[in-house]
Amino acid sequence: MIDRKFVRLTEGLVHVREWLGCDNTRLPLYLMHPSPASARGLEPLMQALRGQGLEQRLIAPDTLGNGDSAPPLPDAPDIAYYADSVRRVLDALGIDRADIYGAHTGCRTAAELAVICPDRVNRVIFDGITDYEPALKAEILANYAPAVVPDDAGRHLIWAFNFIRDQVFHFPYFMRDPEHQNTRPMPSAEQLHAHTVDVLKGLTSYHKAYRAAFAYEPRKRLPLIQQQVLVLEADTEPEHLKRAAKDMAALVPHARLVATTDGILGKAKAIADYLK
């Protein structure tokens, strides 16, 4: 059973999904979700980790400005701000040190947390980390995550659905040509709906974590990580992230690269084997 609760930071309430586990001798695993959704999307992985016999406490908050968590305070927060918010969530939960998992945007926050708060981070797991050449990064920062506000004709509702669906077809989603086409399967209607609702919950603040993540410079920060790191090359990821896994792992002094198959189950097995 995954429970839900809130902890309070200066910004307001942070929504947390949690499985308390039954092995208090192991450090908790703190999981950070991708933008633009919420930790709801990590529930299948949390269940799969349990199925692999992982008995440590699992914690998956909604990033500030996403899901049911309060928005960040700065107008243009950077990843260091989000990493510090993780430190403060750990403080609120009474956790001194944890293993850290990050997916996509969460990878970058995990990387920065490992650098600036090394005493709080035991091991790190990257699931989908990459960097972009300058021209593409500039295009992404300019176009990927627009600021959106509610519209009295409801146009923001249609935008949110198309924003989610279009990301399945291309990366970046606004470059709709064969060179940028994805090969991932289309999620179910129920999954698209749930993801869209997550975006609508953080409609006016979802873009802040996105922009911070895209502005981050992994090639400069990953070599500073001194913890043990697992880099996943997962078959659940788009091709550009799978291609990047080996290069990103080579930047980390103490990294292990593992290619996984069988979807979330394969990913959970690799993570559980690493943590156990």
What is d(CA 133, CA 101) in angstroms, rounded to the nearest whole number?
25
The residue-averaged pLDDT of 42-50 equals 97
pLDDT at 24 over 90: no
pLDDT at 6 over 90: yes
State residue 17's pLDDT score: 98
Structure tokens at 113: 């947390």
Mean pLDDT of the chain: 97
Going by DSSP bridges, is the β-strand pair 98-103/121-127 parallel, antiparallel, or unpaired?
A: parallel
Cβ-contact 195, 167 below 8 angstroms: no
How is the beta sheet containing 229-234 ordered, strand by strand?
A: 3-9, 12-19, 58-61, 29-32, 98-103, 121-127, 229-234, 255-260
Cβ-contact 29, 45 below 8 angstroms: no
Closest CA to 20 of 48, 46, 42: 46
Q: How confident is the model at residue 46 (pLDDT cuts 50, 70, 90)?
A: very high
Cβ-contact 52, 272 below 8 angstroms: yes
Compute the Cα dihedral for 76, 81, 83, 88 and give only its sign.
negative
CB count, 10 Å around CB of 119? 8
CB count, 10 Å around CB of 129? 28
pLDDT at 37 over 90: yes
Report which residue type is found at 81. Answer: Y
Identify the three-state secondary structure at position 152. Answer: coil
Per-residue pLDDT tens over the stretch 174-228: 999 999 999 888 999 999 999 999 999 999 999 999 999 999 999 999 999 999 9
State residue 195's pLDDT score: 97
H/E stretch holding 33 reads: none
Could you tell me the pTM of the whole model? 0.96
Structure tokens at 62: 């909604």
pLDDT > 70 in the chain, percent: 100
Cβ-contact 63, 202 below 8 angstroms: no
What is d(CA 193, CA 197) in angstroms, rounded to the nearest whole number?
6
For each of the domains in the chain, give its residue range(s) and CATH number, in order of start. Answer: 3-133+215-275 (3.40.50.1820), 135-208 (no CATH)
Q: What's the distance, CA 121 to chain centroid?
A: 16
Helix axes 206-215, 79-92, angle to 10 degrees: 120
Q: How confident is the model at residue 248 (pLDDT cuts 50, 70, 90)?
A: very high
Q: What's the distance, CA 159 to chain centroid?
A: 22
